[in-house]
Structure 1
Amino acid sequence: MGNSKFHQKYLIFLIFLLLQICSVFVQSKQSNHSSTLSNTVMFALKAQQIPPGSIRRPASKLPFHHNVSLTVSLLVGTPPQPVTMVLDTGSELCWLHCKKNPGLNSLFDPVHSTSYSRIPCSSPTCRARTRDFTIPASCDPIKLCHVLVSYADFSSMEGTLAMDNFKMGESSMPGVFFGCMDQGFSSSSETDSRTTGLLGMNRGSLSFVTQMNYPKFSYCISGQDASGVLLFGEANFAWLKPRSYTPMVKVTSPLPYFDRVAYSVQFEGIKVGGKLLTLPKSILQPDHTGAGQTMVDSGTQFTFLLGPVYTALKNEFLAQTRTTLKELGDPNYVFQGAMDLCYRVPLTQKGYPVLPTVTLMFQGAEMSVSAERLLYRVPGEVRGPDGVHCFTFGNSDLLGVEAYIIGHHHQQNMWMEFDLVQSRVGLAEVRCDLASQRLGLGL
């Protein structure tokens, strides 16, 4: 979730808590997939400016790119149709924009796929109680499973729960559940809003990684050329540094504000330029309602912190940069509704002065954010001879979000490993552009 699911990525994390009957059904499907994904699968990841609204198994790899949203290219249907999907560790349900009207330049046309099937509303998958749907899935007039999902920016979309064949590289995956969405999109461009889909990658029963029965996946996002790699399976490479692991936080009982299928870790503190902020431990831990969890989310661009922690970080960063950066001086300007610390940087200036490193501390691991990852040039915003550059941390309270969200901008040049078997997240600093080259993706 986030203002990629707040503004840029109009998608917020979609949460599924399925009934046991659905889990058994999905697991039986997964066993049929095991023989199809026996080879390493790697994808090139890309990053695209997406308009708003709009097991131990051998590894698999894909290239990707990043900027506002991390995207990966797949093939869906028979014959295969190319699709571009946002890689989202904060969501569960995969979905595609589906063609509804003849002539509309939409992404996926189920009519032209002989392997496409729609899920009836009598299916256990449709009847399952899930938090992913704002209202429970229901029957449409022709007895198909009708689903509706809503996001933090108050947009929503709806369509039919469906199943079709997905293909990644040389690996084929028959019968993947996804949402075939065909109405309710919000975008300034009718066509642009239908140029992508979402690849749900959290720990829920219907996520892509769960349906494919992968116990582990990794990605690495370059900070230089908007590219990277997504890898399914083991990542045992001589050039890759040992990972530091932080355990996932487990909550067994349902809590209203805790996402139990997110990649939730324990936040332990923040250092600015080596100075540890004075923060009460209680504010960094989920409370009795589940509010205050910390989620690692590839679907959010920036990082968002609860109000008191954000304010402490903002004040310390201001204090340490008072002589090197010029504040914007406009108290009414708030980037993406949650980022109110912005600066004026001359358009002719190349790079930034030396900035204090911000280190996010987790149980057993740290993530350091430095240099250009600390500030973001706001496209199109100019004040005289200066561009507007905003601090890449925001205030969750301003968004009405009761959580800490670690976005993908701060995961650049980090090997991010999600181990579902041992319930942990691994981090290792690495040049992700070089990692992509070493893996032969030729980005």
Structure 2
Amino acid sequence: MEPILLLCLSLLAHGAEAACRDARFVGTVLPLRAQQLVVAPTRSPAANRLRFRHDVRLTVPVAVGAPPQNVTMVLDTGSELSWLLCNGSRVPSASAPPRAPAAFNGSASSTYAAAHCSSPECQWRGRDLPVPPFCAGPPSNSCRVSLSYADASSADGVLAADTFLLGGAPPVRALFGCITSYSSSATANGNAAATNSSEAAMGLLGMNRGSLSFVTQTGTLRFAYCIAPGDGPGLLVLGGDGAALSAPQLNYTPLIEISQPLPYFDRVAYSVQLEGIRVGAALLPIPKSVLAPDHTGAGQTMVDSGTQFTFLLADAYAPLKGEFLNQTTALLAPLGEPDFVFQGAFDACFRASEARVAAASQLLPEVGLVLRGAEVAVGGEKLLYRVPGERRGEGGTEAVWCLTFGNSDMAGMSAYVIGHHHQQNVWVEYDLQNNRVGFAAARCDLATQRLGARA
């Protein structure tokens, strides 16, 4: 049986430290946190469009190397190769450079080893990474990696290996990208606040099903998390049996497998089958063909901890938007600005005071993502997001709120993505041994207390 590794999750909006303790488990306990990145909205000159950018991410502290160096890494089930900012890395910044996180120093680790051109690792030509490792040639003969992401961020560096320690668990050796050049939409746009934190992440922990992911390299067959809203505590569990940890009764949906390579289908993502979408009791009249991958692979549905909100293809987003607006006419006033698009993909927006939204949130119709054998239900405060820095009305008494479902087509994506905002207060289990993902409604703060972990 796999060793159980129990981790605590805490949303630290104000940077407070959180530590977790559990006397009943032999495993190791450490914090996983949902980190809020405060960034100012940036507008496109042509219209009132705010650029697509993730501003919340789940992070976990890890120790790497010997002697161990403490790093903070984004937990991303939508990515494969893990990476760390390394000494000498270049990160674009504004004219007043933000305080960047300390970089990992490979030369200070006795267990660090960079892959060379002739190494088997550099000859790896698997199907998973869009750009496989490649040789830089003389004089360095280093094995290079180049990574890019949907939000226009990118990372370049060398392929390397070192030991990873999560709390007091035995160290595991894994390949990762030692990044020397990194850029993102936040740093490229000069949003210094996005990285102006001592808790800023200095890497990414790739957790998809690819050959080079941390999950695959370490032989992890099961992991789960429960994300609490606000600043409440939650849990991340690596390995073990969820039932043995008093996890709620899960409804499982099978992972979708397609053996034939298709240009727009990510075969190493946690892909599930979306069967329908409901708003309140109304099941939207969306053809099944719209919800299934087409002959190119476009239209798959992915469960992704690395994406904040949920994205739907246009043919499903349009009826959802229309039905939600229809059912909330008496509760919320539409923004009434046709050119306003938050993060380039969210155009179902409203204007209301915080008190008005608080009162209306309990009356909003629940949105259900109906999966094969399970459902992800989104209700209450999770349905609306207040756009930072946007005020309307005389004296700025009203804020701007947008529905937390975005249009994939507007964001330049060809898939449905269930983001971690809609996974709050949901126990999510990734069962790789049985090729399925389980969901259950949960009070994540209470689950933490039940398992003996205290912030």
| TM-score, structure 2 normalization | 0.83
Aligned-pair CA distance for 1:363? 0.3
Name the CA distance, whole Å, in 2 between partners of 1:173 and 1:251.
Answer: 34
Determine the structure 1 residue equivalent to 2:263: 256
Q: 1:350 to 1:358 in 2, by over 3 A?
A: closer
Structure 1 residue 128 corresponds to structure 2 residue 96: no
Q: Which moved more, 1:384-393 or 1:109-118?
A: 109-118
How do residues 274-423 of structure 1 correspond to structure 2 at under 5 angstroms? 274-349=281-356, 351-353=358-360, 354-383=363-392, 384-423=396-435
Q: Which moved more, 1:178-187 or 1:266-275?
A: 178-187
Name the CA distance, whole Å, in 1 between partners of 2:405 and 2:173.
Answer: 40
SS in 1 for 2:400: strand
Aligned-pair CA distance for 1:319? 0.2
Name the CA distance, whole Å, in 2 between partners of 1:276 and 1:382.
Answer: 34
Determine the structure 1 residue equivalent to 2:8: 44
Q: Which moved more, 1:315-324 or 1:168-177?
A: 168-177
Structure 1 residue 63 corresponds to structure 2 residue 31: yes
Aligned-pair CA distance for 1:63? 3.3
Q: 1:46 to 1:125 in 2, by over 3 A?
A: farther
Name the CA distance, whole Å, in 1 between partners of 2:245 and 2:151.
Answer: 43
Q: Which amino acid aligns with 2:106?
A: P
Name the CA distance, whole Å, in 2 between partners of 1:208 and 1:394.
Answer: 29
Q: 1:232 to 1:184 in 2, by over 3 A?
A: closer
Name the CA distance, whole Å, in 1 between partners of 2:452 and 2:438.
Answer: 23
Q: Which amino acid aligns with 1:409?
A: H
Name the CA distance, whole Å, in 2 between partners of 1:395 and 1:75.
Answer: 38
Would you say the 8 A contact 2:172–2:218 is kept in 1? no
Name the CA distance, whole Å, in 1 between partners of 2:131 and 2:33.
Answer: 31
SS in 2 for 1:180: strand
User: Could you list the per-position Cα deviations for residues 86-128 of structure 1 after superposition, in whole angstroms to 9, with x for gaps in the alignment?
Assistant: 1111011010111217998533121221211111122222222
Give 1:106's match in structure 2, choosing from 91, 102, 126: 102
Determine the structure 1 residue equivalent to 2:209: 203
Give 1:158's match in structure 2, choosing from 156, 159, 179: 156
Determine the structure 2 residue equivalent to 1:426: 438
User: Could you list the per-position Cα deviations for residues 222-259 of structure 1 after superposition, in whole angstroms to 9, with x for gaps in the alignment?
Assistant: 02325421101211247432110100111011111111
Q: Which amino acid aligns with 1:73?
A: P
Name the CA distance, whole Å, in 1 between partners of 2:58 and 2:210.
Answer: 20
In structure 1, runs of 5+ residues without a counterpart are 1-36, 50-57
Name the CA distance, whole Å, in 1 between partners of 2:441 and 2:100.
Answer: 44
Q: Which amino acid aligns with 1:314?
A: K
Q: 1:347 to 1:431 in 2, by over 3 A?
A: closer
Name the CA distance, whole Å, in 2 between partners of 1:99 and 1:238.
Answer: 40
Would you say the 8 A contact 1:107–1:195 is kept in 2? no
Would you say the 8 A contact 2:12–2:231 is kept in 1? no
Aligned-pair CA distance for 1:132? 2.4
Aligned-pair CA distance for 1:136? 5.0
Q: Which amino acid aligns with 2:4?
A: T
Name the CA distance, whole Å, in 2 between partners of 1:417 and 1:166.
Answer: 23
Give 1:80's match in structure 2, choosing from 54, 58, 68: 68
SS in 2 for 1:308: helix
Name the CA distance, whole Å, in 2 between partners of 1:382 and 1:324.
Answer: 19
| TM-score, structure 1 normalization | 0.85
Would you say the 8 A contact 2:133–2:159 is kept in 1? no
Structure 1 residue 438 corresponds to structure 2 residue 435: no
User: Could you list the per-position Cα deviations for residues 108-166 of structure 1 after superposition, in whole angstroms to 9, with x for gaps in the alignment?
Assistant: 12122121111112222222225524475222531111111122233322111111111
Would you say the 8 A contact 1:270–1:360 is kept in 2? yes
Aligned-pair CA distance for 1:79? 1.2
Name the CA distance, whole Å, in 1 between partners of 2:260 and 2:28.
Answer: 34
Determine the structure 2 residue equivalent to 1:242: 249
Q: 1:105 to 1:363 in 2, by over 3 A?
A: closer
Q: Which runs of 4+ in 1 moved over 6 A?
A: 101-104
Q: 1:48 to 1:225 in 2, by over 3 A?
A: closer
Name the CA distance, whole Å, in 1 between partners of 2:270 and 2:251.
Answer: 16
Q: Which amino acid aligns with 1:44?
A: C
Q: 1:211 to 1:60 in 2, by over 3 A?
A: farther
User: Could you list the per-position Cα deviations for residues 30-57 of structure 1 after superposition, in whole angstroms to 9, with x for gaps in the alignment?
Assistant: xxxxxxx9532112234578xxxxxxxx
Name the CA distance, whole Å, in 1 between partners of 2:401 and 2:155.
Answer: 33
- Percent identical across equivalent pairs? 51
Name the CA distance, whole Å, in 1 between partners of 2:101 and 2:333.
Answer: 45
User: Could you list the per-position Cα deviations for residues 360-395 of structure 1 after superposition, in whole angstroms to 9, with x for gaps in the alignment?
Assistant: 100000111000000011122211211111100000
Aligned residues: 399
